[in-house]
Structure 1
Amino acid sequence: MFVLEVLLPLILIVVAGFLSIKKRLFSQQFVAETSKFVLYVSLPAVIVSSLTSIELTQVIDLNFMLIYAIAGLVSMIASIVISRYMFKFNWTESYINGLGSGMPNSAFVGLPIVLSLYNGQYVEAFLMCVLVENLVFIPISLVLLEFAQGKSAGWKTQIMGVLERVSKNPIILAILFALMVNITGVTLPSFVADSVSIFATTSVALALFAIGGALGQSLQFEQYKRIAFVSSMKLVFFPLVALMLLSQLPVEGDMQYVLLIFAAAPMLSIYPILGGCYQQQRFCLNTLIVTTIASGFSLSVVISLTTS
């Protein structure tokens, strides 16, 4: 029941988006435009707001970040290899599977659970997760997906094409800008910081509402085996790898349990929005819904271990 209390508000927003499209309260273009707003405005604002406010030297626990990064990358790589060579998916589909298998929803699922479970403590764990996700998981996934778009070209042409597309990606640009501000110690003017913060607060509701709207346009579950595979990799394989790594790279106290909670969260809520850039929106939508619902059970298991 505890996990459901966190997930139900998210599910209700998705349902609201679904019903709004089914009842034709908005045009069919609304979902696409809202998704674009999230990708180009809300999500970059979240990244800038988060990364510029982190005191890097004060929140770093190297073992925590190494376990989180290694477990995520192992999950991604395993998913990509199995998808490509066992299930025979193309490279774009395999990389989309990898993104879903290794990129947790730390902000909208992991963090609320941790804050509720530990009475507002361990925000620094979330900040470390944000660093790993934005500096490792997302850039690697986007670069691989961009490579998959230019496979027919020569290597030099392909690399130049990838660099050009990545250099225009709003997520990458937001990460680079936020890091530059953080490292140089520049303080954003208060009116700029406040504007970014306001845009950042729109990301959760708009992303989930757009997901519901997209479901309302094309609710058709298919590729059941692929959905089950990615869900299992995210909810089971990722946290199991993290658990094994904890025996080799110790993390002190309850932080090890906090790490497992973040690792066991479902994939990022903008998974369908990113997937839509590569003609994979329907699969990503279906997988996100199934994985989020299933995470109610998997996270309950993890929480029972942390509180036993």
Structure 2
Amino acid sequence: MEFYSVIKIVLTLLLIIGVGYAARRYNILSKDSIGSISKFVLFVSLPSLILVSSTCKPFTPECINIVLLLLLSSLVYYVVSIVVALIIPRLIRSKSNEIGVYRFILVFPSAVFFAFPIIHMIFDQEGILYAAIFNLPYFLLTFSLGIWLMTSSLKKGAASMKFDPRVFLNLAFLATLVGLLLYFTSTPIPEPFRETLALLGKMSTPLALIATGGFLFEVNILALFKNSRHYLISIVRLLVLPLIVFVMLDTLLPLFDSEVLHVELLSEVKNVILAIAVIIAAMPAAVQTVIIAAEYKAHPEIAAEIILVTTLLATVTVPLLFITGFIPC
């Protein structure tokens, strides 16, 4: 991808985030309305986009193998990120109140609010379908492993590995499952439902970015300069993890050639799968980090600070990954 195209995409996203920040700054949007926009994206707009994207590509037998490769790539990402999350915070001598937040941030990126808009702009609806499949483990792990990572460094007895079955009621997760069913059965979405879903889906990118800007307004910017560990964690989140994922998948994916999985289209889809995996791995901290940290009293102020740091730095690191070819397009 050309340098100008990369800068154009990132600047577009950044400007919309700025609109959300300004709208919150001048009380055009309240704190409650930003939360409502976030919920609308998660429960209405994003599921609509996933559903309509599931019928954008005709199903062929090779598609099963593509789904398997996407889930394999996702497994590689989560194994790498969990190992890194368990090691790095201790290695940089993080304080006990920081370790849980850092661990969560290193495992769970902002796929919905940052990666999906980028993937949509580059790969259109087919990219969203692939990204949704890749992101399936996210919905299962966030409220199980994620809570444990967040709380495990707190005082004894605070950590919890309890799995919340309500995760299965997450509409983005359910939409992905329904979308896969429509995809594998080649079931079209009848009009006017398809057009309705398409219009709602198109709202997900700008609304997600506006919500991100609104959330960033709540961060104490002066506090960002007081903790160098925030920046070390951010570099790992934004550069080290995606580079590791790139090297591992660039080595593993070619092994699944036509003789192994009979994927005749592997050469065509390999770069798309690799790009989606690296894009998601290179994203800033998820907005949900603050929500979960607040729920479990795991220092949400630290989560908010590092969300801002990673989001700002991502405007530099993401174009860098594109330009250097680590995000193949």
Q: Normalised by the size of structure 2, how large is the TM-score?
A: 0.71
Aligned to 1:242: 246
Instruction: Name the residue aligned to 2:104.
Output: 95
Report the counterpart of residue 232 of structure 2 in structure 1. Answer: 228
Instruction: Deviation per CA, 1:188-245: give whole Å up to 9, x if none.
Output: 3322222222211111101111111222233525354234324434433323333244
> Aligned equivalents of 1:177 and 1:67: distance in 2?
20
CA contact (8 A) 2:271 2:328 kept: yes
Partner residue, 1:276: 290
Deviation at 1:270, TM superposition (A): 9.4
Question: Is the Cα contact below 8 Å between 1:104 and 1:266 reproduced in 2?
Answer: no
CA separation in 2, counterparts of 1:17 and 1:82? 35
Summarize the Cα distance change of 1:301–1:16 in structure 2 as closer, same or farther, 3 Å threshold. Answer: same
Residue type of the alignment partner of 1:132: F
Structure 2 equivalent of residue 118 of structure 1: none
Q: CA deviation at 1:19?
A: 1.6
The 10-residue stretch of structure 1 (276-285 or 1-10) with the greater mean CA deviation from structure 2: 276-285
Partner of 2:41 in structure 1?
38
Kept in 2, the 8 Å contact 1:80–1:98? The answer is yes
| Cα pair distance change 1:231/1:260, threshold 3 Å | farther
Structure 1 unmatched ranges of 5 or more: 116-122
Q: Contact conserved, 1:38 with 1:207, CA < 8 A, in 2?
A: yes
User: Contact 1:68–1:263 at 8 Å: present in 2 too?
Assistant: yes
Q: 1:72 to 1:158 in 2, by over 3 A?
A: closer
Q: Is 2:34–2:215's contact at 8 Å kept on the other side of the alignment?
A: yes
Percent identity over the alignment is 21
Name the SS of the counterpart of 2:325 in structure 1.
helix
Q: RMSD of the TM alignment (CA)?
A: 3.8
Identify which of 128, 131, 156 aligns with 2:130: 128
Displacement of 1:265 in angstroms is 2.5
**For each residue in 1:68-110, what CA deviation from the matched residue of structure 2 results, as whole angstroms up to 9, or x when unmatched?**
3244123321232125654454546522321129999553224
Give the number of aligned pairs.
294
Distance in 1 (CA, whole Å) between partners of 2:113 and 2:183 is 24
1:292 to 307, 315, 320: 315
Q: Which amino acid aligns with 1:130?
A: A
* Counterpart position of 1:191: 192
Match runs of 1:1-308 below 5 Å: 1-2=3-4, 3-54=6-57, 55=59, 57-59=61-63, 60-61=65-66, 64-65=69-70, 68-83=73-88, 85-86=90-91, 87=94, 89-91=98-100, 93-100=102-109, 106-110=115-119, 112-113=121-122, 127-133=129-135, 135-146=136-147, 152=157, 158-159=162-163, 162-163=164-165, 165-183=166-184, 186-220=187-221, 222=224, 223-250=227-254, 253=267, 255-265=269-279, 272-278=286-292, 279=294, 280=300, 282=304, 283-302=306-325
State the Cα distance separating 1:7 from its structure 2 match: 0.7
CA-CA distance at 1:39 after TM superposition: 1.9
Whole-angstrom distance in 1 between the partners of 2:16 and 2:208: 9
Are the aligned partners of 1:69 and 1:136 in contact in 2 as well (CA < 8 Å)? yes
CA distance in 1, matches of 2:232, 2:78: 19
> For 2:320 and 2:67, how far apart are their aligned partners in 1?
30
